[in-house]
Structures are given as C-alpha cells and as structure tokens.
Structure 1
Amino acid sequence: MTSLKTLSLQSCKLDGRIPATQGLCDLNHLQGLYMSDNDLSGFLPPCVANLTSLQRLDLSSNHLKIPISLSPLYNLSSLKSFYGSGNEIFAEKDDYKLSPKFQLESLLLSCRGQAVGAFPKFLYHQVNLQYVDLANLGLKGEFPNWLIENNTYLQYLFLENCSLSGPFLLPRNSHVNLSFLSISKNHFRGQIPSKIGVYLPRLNVLDMSNNGFNGSIPSSLGNMSLLYKLDLSNNVLIGRIPEYLTRSCSLLETLMLSNNSLQGQIFSENINLKFLRWLQLDSNQFDGIPDSLSNCSYLTMLDVSNNHLSQMIPGWIGKMSSLEFLDLSRNNLSGPLPPSFDTSSMLQFIYLSRNKLLGPILRPFYNYSKLLALDLSHNDLTGRVPEWIGRLSNLRFLLLSYNNLEGEIPIQLCKLDQLTLIDLSHNYLSGNILSCIVSTAFFPSSTDAYAPESSQQSFEFTTKNVSLPYRGSILHYFTGIDFSCNNFSGKIPPEIGNLSKIKALNLSHNNLVGPIPPTFSRLKEIESLDLSHNKLEGEIPPQLTELYYLAVFSVAHNNLSGKTPARVAQFATYEESCYKDNPFLCGQPLSKVCDAAMTPLPMPTLTTNKDNSGFMDMEVFYVTFGVAYIMALLVIGAVLYINPYWRRVWFPFIEVSINNCYYFLVDNLPILSKFGFS
C-alpha cells in the first residue's frame, strides 16, 4: 500500500513494539498515522525517520518510551502535529547539534509526572506552535517566556505541574493570540506582574492556582475583556478584589480565589458579572457579601466558606433561581435560618455548618425535591427535627449534629429512601430508633455522579473515633449513621443488619437496652462500630468476628455478660478499653478469666423502656422484701403463741415503750413548737 496516506489503528488493543521490518516504515506517502489508546511499548524505531511525508503522528496513551528531545523524528520535515501524551517521556543526553527539520503546530507530551530536566532545546527553534501541552513533566527552571515570544501564533499553553519556579516572566511584547494559559501546581514566587493584562490581553482562561504568588491581584486583569475563567486559588494573595476586574471582565463565568488572604467585602456594589456561574472564595478573610451579587442571575455555585462573614444570611440568596451549590459554612453567621427559599430554586447542596445560627428549623427548604445534601451541623438550632424533611425525596446527606434539637425522630424521615449519610449526634433527641429509617432501602447501590459541583462536596463525619473531612468522589461510596450522644432508648433495631454497605455506625452515649443484634454479622463492609456507653445486655454475638473490615470496635460501659469474642482476625488487635466497664464480661483481653463451666446469665425480658440502671432487679427486690417481712411477723406471732414466758415479757415491754414515747412527746412539745414543729 505504497500510496496509503492515512492509517488509523486507534484502540485496537495492539501490544508489543512498533514493527520496524514489516512494512510500516516503508509507507513514505503516509501523512497521518494514528495509533493511540493501545498497549504499545518500547522505543520508537529509527526507521520512523523514513516517513518523510508524515504530517500528523498520534502515539498517545500507550507505554512507549519517547525522548523529550523527539530526536527520532528530526528528519520528518513535514511533521506538524505530534501527540505523545500518556507515555513514558524521558530525558536523554542532548548531543544533537542539528535542529529538527519540522516546524510543529501542535505538541502534546503531558505524562504521569516524570522528571525530565530542563526545557528541550529543539523548542527554541519552533516558531509556528499553536498548541503546547507539557503538563506533569518535571521540567524545572523558570517560566519560558521565550516560548511565547518566539511563537506569535501560540493559542494554548499547558504547563501544569512542571516543577517550574522563580518569578512569572512576561513576554517582551504584547501577545494577542494566546487565549489559554495554565501554570498551576508549580513553585512560582513573587507577585503577579502588574501589567499581565496589558501583555496578555486576549486570554480566555488564566489558571495560576497552587503556587506561591503573593501581593495583591493586579487591576490590569480587567484588560482581559474576553476572560471567562480566572483561577488564582491556593496562593498567598492579599488585599481586595480589584473593582476594575469585576466591572470590565463582563464575560467572566468562573472566578476561583479560594485559599488566599483576601479581605474586605467580596465585591463593590458596582459589578458587571451578569454571566458569572461559579464563584469560589472559601478560606479567605472576607467579611461581607454585597447585595450586588444578587444581580448574578446565572450563578450556580457560591462558596464563601471559612471566612469572617458575621451578618445574617442575606434573604436574596434564597431567590437566586439558578443556584445549585451554596456553601456558607465556617463563618460567624448569626440569626435564624431564612424564612423561605424560592420554591423554583435549583439548590442541590446546602452547607451552613459551623456558624451561630439559632432558632427552630422552620420551612426554608420545604418542597426542595432536588436537594441532595443538607448540612446544618455545629450551630445553635433548637426545637424538633421537622417533619417536612421527609418531603426531600432525593436527599442523600443529612447532617444536623451538634445542635440543641430535641424530641423524637419524625416518622416522616422513613420516606428518605435515598439517604446514605445521616448524622444526628450531640443533640437531645429521645425515643426509639425507628426501624424504618434504617431499612434495606436506606443505602442505595447506585454510585452516579450528581453534578459538576459534587467534586466540591465536603462533609465532616466522625468515624474510627476521629472527625475527618470527606470530600469529592469518595462520598459516592461512603455510607454511615451517627446517632451518638443523645437520649435514645429502647432496643437496637435488628434491621440495621440489612445495611450491608454501611461503613460507620455510632450509637454510643445513649440509653439503649437489650442485646446486640446478631444480624450485625451481615455488615460485611463496616469499618467502625461504636455501641459504648449504653445499657446493652446479653452476650456479644460471636459472629462479629466475621466483620473483616472492622477497624474500630467498642462496647465499653454497658451491662454485657459472657465471653468476649474469639481473639481471631481483627478482633485479636482490640484492647481492654474496647470492653471495659462490663462487670459480667470475661475473657481476653480483659483481666477477668472465664470459668470453664460458666454459663451465660439469663437475659431479663424487657417490657418497658424505663431506666434499668444498676445491677439489681427492683421488681424482684420488692417481692422478696414483702415476703420476708410477712414471714418475720408470722414467726414472731407463732413464738408468742407457743411460749407463755415470752408472751408475759413481750406485752409489758410494749406497754412501757408506748408510755415512754407518749410522755417524751408531751414534755418536749413546747420546745419543738419553737422550731416550727406542731
């Protein structure tokens, strides 16, 4: 096929080396060769240099070893595009004094983070580049401003995670074609050049995140009138957001400034961000949300968490009909929850935790059928868990911990058959744990991604005795229940054993009674189980040793009896503290040795949920005391009836005692009356 011009072998499951002697290198009329998404390995064969008509070469997503100098391709004078991303890019000793014959327009060499040293010298001779992607290459050195200067047609430049350092250097002349610049995840220091907007005025996307830039945000960014994404997050920037930026960049859709030290009010009242959709300002020092933000009618994501906001939640936030993601957590917001949010709202994620919100949870999110996450934890909310939460049919995450809620769990919560995470800990809730709220439908098996905003999700949940943040895609798989530190009573519903996917279960510090359900042996994926500080009785089910993922286990401070589970698998690692303060429990690791003939204590039948504290059955005590009292009276009567001598002694003794008590009261009555006794 000597006249063949295009050969596509993409995603054909090819493996081994690129053949050098089977005719491929003889296709000297070939203009396009596409071999991406295979399992090819080894080095590029030298005979590739014979393909002198080749213009486009795509070897991406293989296991090839490609030198960053591209020396095997120097003879391909017609080559315009080379795609080598997703291979092993390595540095070789650059002894090449000749310049390559090609002039590339597109070069993609991003890889998995190999260290390859300095920028390859052949790039100094390229003047037609339009698209350059060198992400994840350990190139080191300073920013290659010469690459922009030499290539006046350059439009896209990706230098993410390249270990670059030093200051960010602008080209000597204004570059009007560059539209995409990403230099995130490097080690740049110093200030962002004050004239960056003058020298790069046509940028659509500027990503300088995850570096060490300090100083203020240059106002010249307002010169980038075509800018629709700006990411300066995770730096050391200070000061305010320039007003010129928010007035002139009218096409801005994404503004990400999180994890800096910016301060003051977020925006001025004079902004022109009508197309703004994504605003991420968390972990700064902002102290106010302007009303002008209500004009951003397309806003779908608003994250101002971990700042210094101290006012009440603005009422207009609930009227933003496009808002899907709202995070105002970790501030000093006070007052009650807003009375109501717009019923046409698209809100799916609401995070208001760690503020100073107070009062009852009324009806602000009533009829929010699209709501997936509601986090109101760590506030001062009072009253009951509202019944209307049962109308949030798609709710996946419900966190109401560390408040002052009281009363019983409303039965309407049984309708939430999509819940995967529920935390009601550290409240004053009471009553029984509803069996329906932990039914088999409680944890759905689907792991669908919810929305683009789901990558920003973050929950704080206590598991394995440590409070940890869970964020991103892990929340698609994490399931847990935390009802600890309340006043729940009654027995543990055996239906909990049906939650085979649950990872964490915490029912500690309550008033639960009865046995540990043997159905817990079905919790095959559980990692943390805490039943401590209750009034549980009976034996620990020996089947629990089959829970091979169980890393944290505690049944301390209960009334359990019998032998501890066998010291096998993970149960061989549990210490005495996991079982302590169970007086009738014996066996390792406890110091109390079990009697060989020991039989389990009988389990009392519980008819009420009253407090059965202590180790004495009060009903048995009252019965035995009454019987003993009657028996004593009968014995005394029988003795007096049978023995005349004791009868003659007993009755005069009683008569004398009665007279003494009478005269004692008569003589001391005036004295007692002085002290208020009559």
Structure 2
Amino acid sequence: MKGEFPHWLIRNNTKLYALYLHNSSLSGPLQLPIHSHVYFSDLDISDNYFNGSIPTEIGVCFPSLNSLNLSGNGLTGGIPSSFGKMSQLTELNLSRNGLTGGIPSSFGKMSQLIKLDLSNNHLSGIIPQELIVGCSSLHELILSNNSLHGQIFPKQANCKELSRLLLDGNQFTGSIPYSIANCTMLAMLDVSDNRLSSSIPGWITNMTILQILDLSENNFFGNIPSSFGPPFISEVYLSKNRLQGPLMNAFYNCFELTILDLSHNSFTGRVPEWIGNFPKLNYLLFSHNNLEGLDLSCNNLTGKIPTEIGNLGKIQVLNLSHNSLTGLIPQSFSNLKQIESLDLSYNNLNGSIPQLTQLNFLAVFSVAHNNLSGKTPEMVAQFATFENSSYEGNPFLCGPPLSKSCFSSTLMPRVSEEDKKDHKKDGGFMDMEAFYVSFLTSYAIVLLTIAAVLYVNPYWRRAWFYMIELSLTNLDYFLVDNIPFLFRCY
C-alpha cells in the first residue's frame, strides 16, 4: 500500500481500537486525527517510509495507547514529552528509525510501561533517572545502538521487574553500578561495545536469575572473581577486554554453561580442569590469551579426538588421558611444534601412531593402554628417550623400545572398519581383505556366467567344446614337434 498515513480511517471510526499497517510502502509525515480517541490502544506502522518528527500531540490523541511500534521508518527529531501522558501504555517500540536527541524524562511518568525499545536510532545524552525510578513495571529496556553516554544506570533504581537490559553499542563509561543488583529478576544483561572501564563486580554472582551476560568489547580489567558466575548462567561473553591472571575456579559451578567466550584478553596459567565439568558446553573460545596448558584428563570424554586440536600450534601441554576416546590419533598432532608433554594414555584409541618425530620439544609422551597397532615411531630425536612404559598396554604395537618384533607372524593389528575408511581418506593402507573378497567373487561370477550360457545355448556349447578340442590338438602337435628338438639341444 502506498500513500500517506490514513488519519481519516481513525477519525471516521471512533470505536476503532487497533490499526496494523506494518511492512507497507506508506510515506510522508505522520498526520494524526485532531480529536482524542479513548478506545484506540494498538498502532503498528513499522517498516514503512514515514519521515518527519513524531507528532507532539500523539499522547493527547491516543490517551489509552497500549502498544506503539514506529520502527523501521525515517523519523527524525526528538521523542515528544507527551508520551508521559500515556498512563496506560504497556509497550513502546521506536527502534530502527532516525530519531535524534535525548531520552525525555517524561518517560518516568509511564508507571505502567512494560517494554521500551528505542534501539537503532541516533539518540544521545544520558539515561534519565526518572525513567529508571518511575517505570517500576518495566520488564524490558532496550537502548542498543545509539550514542548514549555517561553512567549506564543512575545510583537510584527501582526496576525490580526488569528481566532484559540491553545497552550495547553506545558510549557508556565508568563501571557497572551496584544499583543493577536491585534488579533481582534480571535474566539478560548486555553492555557490550561500550567504553566501560573497571573490574568485574563480584556481586553479579548473586543474580540468581541471570542467564546471559555480555561484557565484551569494553575496557574491563583485573582478575575474574573467584567462583564467579550465577548458578543458572548459560552464556558468558567477556572477549576483547583487558582481563588478566589465572582463571582458577572462576566458573567452577556453572553447570548450565553452553557458551563461554574469554578470547582476546591476557589470561595466564593453565586451562583449568573445570572445563570438563560442563555437559552442555557447545562453544569454548580461549584464543588470543597467554594460556599454557590443556589438561582434560580423568573425565568422561567420548568419541574421536578433534583434528582441530592440531591447529593449536603454541600449546605446550596436552593431557587427554583416562577418558573413553576412540578412533585414530590425528595426523594433525604433528603440527604441535611447541608441545612438551603429550599424554593420550588409558583410552580406546586404535590404528597406528602418526609420525611425530619432528616434535623437538617433546619431553613426555605416553599412548599406553590403548588398542594401537603397527610399528612404534622411529627411535630418533626426542623419541629415542621414551621407554617401554610410553607404549605398554597395546598388544598389537611392535618395534623398539618394545621387545615384540614387527616381523612376528602372530602380530595381527586390529583396525575397525571406520578407521580403515579414515586411512583410505588419508592415503593410507589398501584394504587387502576387501580386495581378495571382491577378486574371488568376480572370478566365481565369470565362471558361473560361462556355465549358464553353455547350458542354455547349444550352439555356443558346441563351439566351446570345439575350441577346447582344437586347443588340445594344437598343444599335442606342439609337443610332438618340439620335444625331440629339445632333447637334441642337450
């Protein structure tokens, strides 16, 4: 639909209570009826081409408005103070417009306001204290992607019903104020992509409802508090800050974690053992830090070892022992040029040991007590220092330092069918067993086909026996003619 806003439709229908014109091609300024319409409660004109400013009389025209969506247009100017007269307003969405100016304090008069979305505009200034104190019923406050600055929350706050606070993509400075601790129902806190600069407050741990915490792309510094993390937290984003120090027991009891992003910081020490305690963890990002080790031993890890671990070129310690890992040792482990300790013992790994003799810093190596087969790595460089204990518990391994010779006829490597497929993909051994079976099967099919043809077709049968008889006759003549000659040669 094209044209201007149909103010006549509202003017001529005094009992109209809702008008939805979203996602059309309406344009021009937003012209409203002159008289007040007490029944009108819902207006959605989002995703059109309206321009100009929001009419200052909108609060007088629609005193009982419950839901207003003006997003996705080209509106400019400020937010009119008449919004403060909408005592029945429960939802206001002005996102994705071109609104400029600040947030008016008249929002604080909307005591029944439940959701306020002013995201994706050009708003500036600070968050009015009247908004945080007066809107006691506010459930969602979304101010993302504007140019707001100052403290993210006033010292006084009365938002006990607030469940979602999204302030990302602004220019807020300072710290996360303690007043947010009063938001006991907060489930999502996103203050990413701002200019906040302080340590991470420990009281966030006491926010028992919090599930999503995003503090990324700020200037937070210092250590993560010990035992940090609310009990039901599922997503934590702390990347691109100035956090440092060891991780210790920071997220020790966060069993609901699905995403943990600690990348682009200055964390030091070893990767903590509690990483293995998260059964729901899907994404774990530790890149661009100064972490030294990766110890995942004594857990319940199953499946194959990811080949991507071979991309951790600066890792120094890798311990995957005492798990239930299966499959092959990845060839990509040959890329771990800085590794000093590699322990894969006490798993169910099979196949052969890849060539790792170029790992010049390797001082500790163990693949003991698996189902590995074939020859041990050549006794050169660092591998010349490893003893029998590095390979024990693998009955089908052979070669030094083991006493079992690789030329023993009783040595039968056990390789699963799935691993044979993996070896074929890597250009490994040929499956001789399958070759013999296919060859004998093909040979039998040829013989049976010839027999069937001779049995069914008399002509071919006579030709077959004639060919056999002719061949035998020629063979007899050959022998008669050449045997005396052979005797004469001697």
TM-score by length of 2: 0.64
- In 1, the alpha carbon distance for the partners of 2:308 and 2:210 equals 24
Q: 1:153 aligns with which of 39, 51, 56?
A: 39
Q: 1:317 aligns with which of 201, 204, 214?
A: 204
- In 2, the alpha carbon distance for the partners of 1:607 and 1:166 equals 78
Counterpart in the other structure of 1:386:
272
- In 2, the alpha carbon distance for the partners of 1:184 and 1:239 equals 21
Matches within 5 A, 1:177-326: 177-198=64-85, 200-287=86-173, 288-326=175-213
Is residue 103–residue 123 contact of structure 2 (8 Å, CA) maintained in 1? yes
Question: How many correspondences in the alignment?
Answer: 353
Counterpart in the other structure of 1:363:
249
Is residue 433–residue 488 contact of structure 1 (8 Å, CA) maintained in 2? no
Counterpart in the other structure of 1:559:
none
- What amino acid is aligned across from residue 186 of structure 1 in structure 2? N
Is residue 28–residue 51 contact of structure 2 (8 Å, CA) maintained in 1? yes
- In 2, the alpha carbon distance for the partners of 1:280 and 1:256 equals 5
Q: Secondary structure at the match of 1:154?
A: coil
- In 1, the alpha carbon distance for the partners of 2:144 and 2:18 equals 29
* Structure 1 pair 279–416 and aligned structure 2 pair: CA distance change class (3 A): farther
Matches within 5 A, 1:488-503: 488=339
Measured against aligned partners, the alpha-carbon deviations of 1:183-232 in whole angstroms (never above 9, x if no partner) come to 1111111111233213x332110000111111110110111110010011
Report the alpha carbon displacement of residue 156 of structure 1 after superposing the two structures with TM: 0.9
Is residue 36–residue 61 contact of structure 2 (8 Å, CA) maintained in 1? no
- In 1, the alpha carbon distance for the partners of 2:4 and 2:306 equals 49
Q: Secondary structure at the match of 1:141?
A: strand
- In 1, the alpha carbon distance for the partners of 2:333 and 2:141 equals 36
Q: Secondary structure at the match of 2:137?
A: coil
* Structure 1 pair 161–608 and aligned structure 2 pair: CA distance change class (3 A): farther
- Structure 2: where are the runs of 5+ without partners? 345-352, 360-374, 384-490
Counterpart in the other structure of 1:676:
none
Q: 1:401 aligns with which of 280, 287, 302?
A: 287
Q: Secondary structure at the match of 2:209?
A: coil
- What amino acid is aligned across from residue 194 of structure 1 in structure 2? S
Measured against aligned partners, the alpha-carbon deviations of 1:555-588 in whole angstroms (never above 9, x if no partner) come to xxxxxxxxxxxxxxxxxxxxxxxxxxxxxxxxxx
- In 2, the alpha carbon distance for the partners of 1:416 and 1:184 equals 49
Report the alpha carbon displacement of residue 486 of structure 1 after superposing the two structures with TM: 7.6
Is residue 44–residue 70 contact of structure 2 (8 Å, CA) maintained in 1? yes
Q: Secondary structure at the match of 1:401?
A: coil
Measured against aligned partners, the alpha-carbon deviations of 1:246-281 in whole angstroms (never above 9, x if no partner) come to 111000110001111111111111111111110000
Measured against aligned partners, the alpha-carbon deviations of 1:71-130 in whole angstroms (never above 9, x if no partner) come to xxxxxxxxxxxxxxxxxxxx5xxxxxxxxxxxxxxxxxxxxxxxx343458625332211
Q: Secondary structure at the match of 2:47?
A: coil
Matches within 5 A, 1:256-655: 256-287=142-173, 288-341=175-228, 345-412=231-298, 415=301, 428-431=314-317, 434=320, 487-488=338-339, 514=355, 606-607=377-378
Q: 1:164 aligns with which of 50, 65, 69?
A: 50
- In 2, the alpha carbon distance for the partners of 1:438 and 1:488 equals 23
Counterpart in the other structure of 2:483:
none
- Structure 1: where are the runs of 5+ without partners? 1-90, 92-115, 442-480, 494-511, 516-533, 537-603, 613-678
Q: Secondary structure at the match of 1:132?
A: strand
Measured against aligned partners, the alpha-carbon deviations of 1:270-317 in whole angstroms (never above 9, x if no partner) come to 111111110000111111211111111111100011111111001111
- What amino acid is aligned across from residue 487 of structure 1 in structure 2? Q
Q: 2:29 aligns with which of 142, 162, 166?
A: 142
Q: Secondary structure at the match of 1:384?
A: strand
Report the alpha carbon displacement of residue 434 of structure 1 after superposing the two structures with TM: 4.9
- What amino acid is aligned across from residue 340 of structure 1 in structure 2? S
* Structure 1 pair 179–121 and aligned structure 2 pair: CA distance change class (3 A): closer
Matches within 5 A, 1:26-105: 91=1
Is residue 236–residue 260 contact of structure 1 (8 Å, CA) maintained in 2? yes
- In 2, the alpha carbon distance for the partners of 1:196 and 1:259 equals 22
Percent identity between matched residues is 40
- In 2, the alpha carbon distance for the partners of 1:482 and 1:174 equals 71
Report the alpha carbon displacement of residue 420 of structure 1 after superposing the two structures with TM: 11
Report the alpha carbon displacement of residue 410 of structure 1 after superposing the two structures with TM: 2.2
- In 2, the alpha carbon distance for the partners of 1:380 and 1:171 equals 54
- What amino acid is aligned across from residue 392 of structure 1 in structure 2? F
- In 2, the alpha carbon distance for the partners of 1:265 and 1:179 equals 30
Report the alpha carbon displacement of residue 411 of structure 1 after superposing the two structures with TM: 2.4
* Structure 1 pair 436–286 and aligned structure 2 pair: CA distance change class (3 A): farther
Is residue 182–residue 206 contact of structure 1 (8 Å, CA) maintained in 2? yes
Is residue 246–residue 273 contact of structure 1 (8 Å, CA) maintained in 2? yes
- In 2, the alpha carbon distance for the partners of 1:210 and 1:412 equals 51
- What amino acid is aligned across from residue 133 of structure 1 in structure 2? Y
* Structure 1 pair 212–403 and aligned structure 2 pair: CA distance change class (3 A): same
Is residue 192–residue 217 contact of structure 1 (8 Å, CA) maintained in 2? yes
* Structure 1 pair 232–120 and aligned structure 2 pair: CA distance change class (3 A): closer
Is residue 126–residue 151 contact of structure 1 (8 Å, CA) maintained in 2? no
- In 1, the alpha carbon distance for the partners of 2:214 and 2:340 equals 35
Q: Secondary structure at the match of 1:487?
A: coil
* RMSD (Å) for aligned C-alpha atoms: 3.8
- What amino acid is aligned across from residue 248 of structure 1 in structure 2? G
Counterpart in the other structure of 1:130:
17
- What amino acid is aligned across from residue 208 of structure 1 in structure 2? L
Report the alpha carbon displacement of residue 318 of structure 1 after superposing the two structures with TM: 1.2
- What amino acid is aligned across from residue 358 of structure 1 in structure 2? Q
Q: Secondary structure at the match of 2:81?
A: coil
Report the alpha carbon displacement of residue 162 of structure 1 after superposing the two structures with TM: 1.5
Q: Secondary structure at the match of 1:139?
A: strand
Is residue 228–residue 252 contact of structure 1 (8 Å, CA) maintained in 2? yes
Report the alpha carbon displacement of residue 134 of structure 1 after superposing the two structures with TM: 1.3
Q: Secondary structure at the match of 2:106?
A: helix
Measured against aligned partners, the alpha-carbon deviations of 1:640-673 in whole angstroms (never above 9, x if no partner) come to xxxxxxxxxxxxxxxxxxxxxxxxxxxxxxxxxx
- In 1, the alpha carbon distance for the partners of 2:40 and 2:220 equals 47
- In 1, the alpha carbon distance for the partners of 2:311 and 2:20 equals 49
TM-score by length of 1: 0.47
Measured against aligned partners, the alpha-carbon deviations of 1:393-449 in whole angstroms (never above 9, x if no partner) come to 1111111111001124422566488x99999977842345859999689xxxxxxxx
